[in-house]
Every structure is written in C-alpha cells, then in structure tokens.
Amino acid sequence: MGRILTMLAATAVTMILIVGGGLYGLSSGKTAKIREDSATAVANAAALTLSQQISLLNRTLNKMAQDPEVVVAVTTANPVLLSNEAARLEKYFPDALKIRLLLPGVNDLDENSTPRMGFADLDMVRETFANEQPPGIQGYEGTDRHLALTARVMQNDRVVGVLLASLNYDFFSKSLQAAAVKNGVIELRQGDLVLGRSGQRNNDGNDPYIQTRVVGTSWDIYHYYAVGSDLADLSLNTTLIIVPALLMLLAVFFTYRRLSDFLAQDLETVLNVSKDMMILKSPSSYPVNFKEVTAIITAMMRFKRALDQANTEASVRNKGELDLSFDQVTHYEFNNPNVEEHQFSNLTATSPAEILAEARALLDNGQTDAPDNRPMDMLPATTPAYGSTGIYRPCDIGGIVGETFSVEDVHNIGRAFGTAAKKQGCKVVAMGRDGRLSSPALADALAQGILSTGLNVLNIGKVPTPMLYFVAQHTECRTGIMITGSHNPPDYNGLKLILNGDMLMGDKIQQLQQCIADQDYTIADAGRVENNDGYTHEYIGTIADDIHIARPMLVVLDCGNGVGGELGPHLLQALGCEVVELFCEVDGSFPNHSPDPSKADNLAELIASVKHYKADLGIAFDGDGDRLGVVDSNGYIISPDRLMMLFAKEVLGNRPGAEIIYDVKCTRHLAEQITKYGGRPTMWKTGSAFMRAKIKETGAALAGEMSGHIFFNERWFGFADALYAAARLIEIMSKDVRS
C-alpha cells in the first residue's frame, strides 16, 4: 500500500510539471517544440497508467499462482481439481473471462470455453515454462479476442504449471478516452493491431506523432497531435491541464480497483461487518490486511454501537433518580470554606509550560499544604492495601495469589458476578487481563464461573484496564471484569468489576461475598466464550480522532513492563509523536522497577532518559495503564494535582462552569485554581470506583487523584485512563512552543 501511494504521489508531481510546462509554452508563443513536448508527456502519462494497470494485473495473477491450493491442484494433475480450482480463481479476478491451469507438455487447445484457446495462447503458455512472458491480445475478432496473461506455478524452484488468464480489455479504450484528447488522437497498438483509440485525426493524415512503449508489454502508444492555429494550441493546453487530473483519478481508480486478493479479502470482511450489523449479531473479530480498511470497520462498529445505546442513554437521562438498592454508596461531602477567601493569586501563567513551572515554584516555596516533593506513597491511604482486610476491598477485590487470593476464589466470584449480572438482564460480560504471570489462570477460572450462570464471555485478551472500560462502555450490557494487580508487586492480583456501567464498590462487593457464602448462584446452560482481540484498533482510532497535536513531540514512554507497553507506543505514534520506549516489553515479573509511577524511585530511568534524549515529555504508566506519571522536559516530576491544574484550565475552556472533582490528598490550592478558571471544585474520597460514581452522579467534566488516576468526562467517557490522559497532555503541551 505504501508503494502504491508513493507511485501516485510521483504521478501527481509529474502531472503538475506537465501543467507548468503547458502554461509556460502558452505564455512564450507556444512553439512547435512545446507542442511536441506536451504530446510526449500525454503519451508517457497514458503509457504509465496502462503499465501500472498491467503490472497490477500481473502481480495479482502471480499471487494466485502461489496459492497452495493451486500448487496442489497442478501437482496432482487431476483434471477435475484443476477445473474447480480455475473456477474458484475466476471469482477473485473481476475482469477474468476464463482462467485455465495448464501442465507441462500441454498440446491440446481448449475450444469448448469462451474465449476459445488458440495456438497463440498455446505458444505463450509453452514459452512461459521457460521464461516469463509479456501480456498480449490473442484470438480472432469477436468473443474469442482477449487479453492473455500467464503466471508460472512454482514448487521448490521448479515450474510445475502455468496459469493462463483470458481477460476483457475494454479498459484500454476507457483509459485512452479519459485523456479527452482534442484536435488529435491517441492510440494503443500491438504491432499493426489497434487495441484502443481516443480522439480524431485530421483528414490529411499528416499529423506528427509521438510513439511511446508501454513498459512491460509489446504495445506502443501513438499520440497524433495537431499543428494548428492559436485557438487549437489553446485547446491543446487546456487539455494538458485537464489530462493530468483525469489521469491522476484514473490511476487511483484502477490501482484500488485491482488490488490483489488481500484487498478482496478485506472487502469481504467489510461485507461481513455489514451483515452482522443487520442481523444484530454481537461484534466479533474482523482481521484485515490493510489499516485503511480497519478505519472503515472501526467507524462502522462505533456508529452501530452509538445507535444501539442511544435509546438506553436517553432513558437513563430521563429517568432521573433510579432505584439504586444494589448501587447505593455512602457519600461523604467535603466542603472547603476557605476556597473563596484564599485565592491562588501568585499563579499568573497562561501557557501550559508556565502553569506547570510556576506551580512547581509555588510548591517549592511552601505555599501549599501538600508539597509535591513529598513521596506520594507516604500519603495516607483512603482504601486499605491488599490483604489487610481480606480480599474484598471497598473498590475492588484482590490479594496475594496463592496465599490470600486463589483460583477457586476467582471462580466463585465469577459465579456470583454472573448471578448478579443475569438478574440485571445482562447477556455478555467483557473480560480482560493484564500481563501478570498469574493472570491467564485467573482469567480461565473467572470465565468458567461466569459461563456457569448462562452468560457469554467476550474475552478481549491482554489489554490495559482503560481498554476493558472502553469495550464495556461500547457493548450492549456495559458490563466487564478486569483481572489486574494494578500497580502492586508481581505476586498480587485482583479484579475490577463493572456492572451496567457502574463499578462495583462497597455494599455491592459485600453482596458478592454474601452470595458466595450462601452458595446462592444462578445455574444455567453454559454460555460461550468469544475471543476477540480486535478492539485495539478501535480504541486507538477513537483517541486519534479526538486528539490533534500542533507539532511533533519527542516523548519518552516508561510502561514499567506493564500491559500498557503493547498499546502505548502505538497510540503515541498514531498521534504523531516520536517515541523512545522504556521497559515497554510486557513482563509480569516487573524486572526493572515496580509498576507504580506515583513513587519517585520508579521514575529514575525515565528522568535520566528525558534528559539524555532532550525529550519534550516523559510519560509513565502503572501495571494496568490507568495511572499516569509525568516528567517535564527538565526532568522534574509533575505531581498529579499540578497536572489537574493544567487539565482544569483546558477543560473549563471548553466547558465553562463545569464541576471538577479531586481527592482529599490533593493540595487545597487546586480548588482555588479551579474556581479561578471558572469551575466548581468538589473534594471527594480517594478510590477509582468512588470517583467514577461521583462523576456519574454530578456529571463532572474532570476528576483526578494524587495516585495518578485521571478521569476525563469531557470528550471522553469518564473512566480512569492514563493513555487518554497522556494524549490530552501531549495535545496541550504541543500548542506551546516554549514547553
């Protein structure tokens, strides 16, 4: 595909030069030499277009000849198999009148099919066994005349057969007619045989002409051009302006129309997507060969899901307060009466770089009650660590695998979660896992537990947690489970659970525990597992459609051997960044450092790399990609509450007056900045599930925690996503040339 685009670009440059030459000739008197050069250019362009078309046909035929099924048919020499295989190939060659598979020593002519095989075809096949042959027009006039192409069928560097394709060659005339030649004529000839013609010659028949060979064939282009008055010259030069555009369009049309069988497979995939959409089938994996087709499929799937969820979302908005007996959470309001009295007036910067730099200076000067140089891991925890109160925690479930958290635990949780999901009308549960060594076994146990309740499992494989949130957001039930130990050491693992768009927390998690204790499971015919790792392109494509950077950025990316290492570099490159990868190989043992970007020790290599490469920015993800760590171009760590100041200004510029939520660990001056920028600050308790529930309750545009969780509900979906937050940060910083 890249070579084709390069070829088209080169053709466009050639056409522009032709137009320039024509205009120059018009202004300088339009000499005979200019007319001759113009005619030569038209002939060369027509020859180039035809040569490209023939080259594409030859490549397609050669790919068919390499098909293993073709080789088997030829080597077995079974006439029925040969005939069937030839018939199959005809379906993938739009212009094929007849395809024949011929063996060494062939002497018989096939006169029972149209077009009939003549002696010229037979000679061409025999010569092909020795050397590749150029295409040729064969057969008598009428239905037997055809364009013949051959390709050798190889086995272990030995020619075992020949593929003979008889094609319709009407496109010759169409290509020449597209040139729209006036006061002249352009012809394609094979010897004395005229294969196509466009235009009309003068009656005297003495017009000069240009002869050009069509590369890769035995054909010539003859361009007869008129030597006439100024009016005729003007018409010719006008044609020279139109011809390049037409030839350019023609080249694009025929190049894409005659892509090889890989493109045919991709088009068939697009049709399968359309069929699945019409019959309301759940999205499945749609592998393609070309990323251009991936963009189409991604757009179709997003459009379909948007339509499917429109009525549901409208219903939720109109319903107001729902019955949240299963969803009820105790809310703690935090009021800061001093916000209005103490304005953060010293922070006067307007550019992204200045905001971060001055915020750091203020923090270093002790103007905050939460200095950002204090190690984040020393801050008081709002939720207990794994193992301190059992595996059932306020926001998630987890523990030390093999000690406090077992495969049996996960299987039972799957049964309990499936029971709760089925009661709420869910039919499918999305499931993802991180790169920890224990995650595959836990995923199997979880899936078996869910399946036992009669629900289906959509297994999206090894992905960052935000991608599981993304898939759950765009599937029918908006329900999913992520197997991840997040930022914890390698021997930890756990579960993050989403039911009908809500993260389970508090009483909901306790209800799962009670269901397990009572063995009160739903039992039904086992559901099925659909393995689909095709959502990566849709996730990256959605972010790339939303984010637009103003200039290229050099970014060092430290994924800490977490699961974000497979997707993160591709995302940043898709945005147009140059990426220096640091520990992006997924390794659940985390051999280089702990996957927790909130600890300064874990950012040492990132800081050194940013300074070494003189990068614009350093980005770090935790083990499952929902926490963000940032280092500026000078190697200084940017704390999450300082990031929130920057994000708040950006978001409030788009959503004036919006509510912005932050956790109790952030500096109190963050509230002052939110107020200064025209927003409504709300302090809330720490915990990803708590934050997400508060966003849903209030409709806040942005939320953030000192842990590095950033929740964008403006232009995004309101869940913690370090990859999207990094993309938004890069977008903001790219607008400031001083950063």
Catalytic residues: 486
Q: Of 445, 490, 439, 487, which is closest to residue 462 (Cα–Cα)?
A: 439
Asked if residues 598 and 707 have their Cβ atoms less than 8 Å apart, the reply is yes
Whose structure tokens read 């099924």? 69
State how far the Cα of 484 lies from the Cα of 490, in Å rounded to an integer: 10
State how far the Cα of 237 lies from the Cα of 27, in Å rounded to an integer: 11
Q: Of 615, 670, 737, which is closest to residue 359 (Cα–Cα)?
A: 670
- The helix or strand, by DSSP H or E, that contains position 429, with its residue range, turns out to be strand 428-433
Q: Of 285, 717, 646, 267, which is closest to residue 461 (Cα–Cα)?
A: 285
Peptide bond into 115 cis (omega under 30): yes
Q: Of 739, 457, 453, 473, which is closest to residue 615 (Cα–Cα)?
A: 739
Strands (E), 485-596: 492-499, 502-503, 529-531, 554-558, 578-582
- The DSSP string of 218-265 is S-EEEEEE----HHHHHHHHHHHHHHHHHHHHHHHHHHHHT--HHHHH
State how far the Cα of 216 lies from the Cα of 199, in Å rounded to an integer: 25
* Helices assigned H by DSSP within 258-290: 261-278
State how far the Cα of 386 lies from the Cα of 400, in Å rounded to an integer: 7
Cα 318 → chain centroid: 35
Phi then psi dihedrals of residue 169, to 5 deg:
-115, 25
Asked if residues 568 and 556 have their Cβ atoms less than 8 Å apart, the reply is no
Report DSSP state, residue 598: T
Asked if residues 671 and 338 have their Cβ atoms less than 8 Å apart, the reply is no
Burial class, 325, CB count within 10 angstroms (exposed 0-12 / middle 13-18 / buried 19+): exposed
- The helix or strand, by DSSP H or E, that contains position 97, with its residue range, turns out to be strand 96-102
Q: Of 446, 496, 442, which is closest to residue 709 (Cα–Cα)?
A: 496
State how far the Cα of 161 lies from the Cα of 440, in Å rounded to an integer: 48
CA angle 732, 734, 735 (to 5 degrees): 70
Torsion of CA 270, 274, 280, 285, to 10 degrees: 0
